[in-house]
Structure 1
């Protein structure tokens, strides 16, 4: 029995010793592999051209405009605690602030900002419907039956598309009701 135990002990010791060349390379590769960094936050990154339900360009829906932001109130609609904000860094983009908080961000023709799905100003109504099939449709207040609003149902930050009579997106809005449904800036 002694003769069998010694080879068994030696086999166990060898199995617990240093890793093989393949294993040590794998461990070394893991140690020297670059750490994956998360993608930049589209809200905080001023270079990002992605509109999200959370916001855009440092603006966050439901929060105050950050200190040092390029978004400032213009000479446009100001009243009833509501004002529109623009920034020279974001052509074709404006925001609505009520009190201290950003309530809506709008991206219009002339902007290269789009949603993660690729839908933005200039997209077709078919592209909007394909990406967002459950949105409510209603007639546009000014363009007649050819123009439409497509609005995401719900109460949290939502999307709303203004579709022009040619069947293209003229403005993408993200925000909270009732400001999301305003048709004239702060009204």
Structure 2
């Protein structure tokens, strides 16, 4: 091999030094075919946290125990928003309402809450999500075995659907299905008041 001329020797030496350093350095890492590109790698997104309940806000769920601070089988809570409003039809049977729950009223006899009724203007539902406006098939999918009775004031398919244990004296559920096949009223309470078809009668 011919030795480099004096004019090309510095350039040749520099090139040789670069090649030597490259050969001695670490080999470049081979990218894994499963690696996430650096530009798109990120920490997993945390699941959204449900909003915290506002203290004192009315609950939108009714159960066999009652609705909010209004409890079945107990007196109307003193100092709360539930109170008698408007004309009452009987001294023995009273109704109470609350501005916190539009479309809901409760029947009180012998000083205790016997039934809570959820009506058309309310978005209160049972924990299963069934409430006013739910189709009858949704009621039956959650509450099988309910006793069916013809509606007193509307033509079929309107009807009453009452829990089979209602006669036991324990709190139970009764639905009124309207002529459109949907829940028009939901009642939670104890017999015989649970079965009243006209408020206090």
- TM-score class, shorter-chain normalisation, is 0.7 to 0.9
Question: Which is strand-richer, 1 or 2?
Answer: 1
Pair member with larger Rg:
2
Runs of at least 5 residues in structure 2 that lack an aligned partner in the other structure: 1-51
Residue in 1 aligned with 2:35?
none
RMSD across aligned positions (CA): 1.8
Q: Does 1:95 align with 2:106?
A: yes
Asked if the contact 1:46/1:58 (under 8 Å) is kept, the reply is: no
Asked if the contact 1:103/1:176 (under 8 Å) is kept, the reply is: yes
Runs of at least 5 residues in structure 1 that lack an aligned partner in the other structure: 1-38
Q: What SS is found at the alignment partner of 1:180? A: helix
1:22-66 deviation line (CA, Å, top 9, x unaligned): xxxxxxxxxxxxxxxxx98xxx96521000000002111100011
Residue in 2 aligned with 1:34?
none
> Matches of residues 52-63 of structure 1 in structure 2 within 5 Å?
52-63=63-74
> Matches of residues 110-149 of structure 1 in structure 2 within 5 Å?
110-149=121-160
CA change 1:137–1:63 in 2 (3 A) is same
CA change 1:45–1:173 in 2 (3 A) is farther
- Mapped to 2, the partners of 1:167 and 1:50 lie a distance apart of 22
TM-score, normalised to structure 2's length?
A: 0.69
Q: What SS is found at the alignment partner of 2:108? A: strand
Structure 1 runs of 4+ with >3 Å offset: none
Question: Which is helix-richer, 1 or 2?
Answer: 1
Compute the displacement of 1:149 (Å). 0.4
Structure 1 residue corresponding to 2:177, chosen from 148, 163, 167: 163
Asked if the contact 2:73/2:112 (under 8 Å) is kept, the reply is: yes
TM-score, normalised to structure 1's length?
A: 0.74
Asked if the contact 2:58/2:100 (under 8 Å) is kept, the reply is: no
Q: What SS is found at the alignment partner of 1:177? A: coil
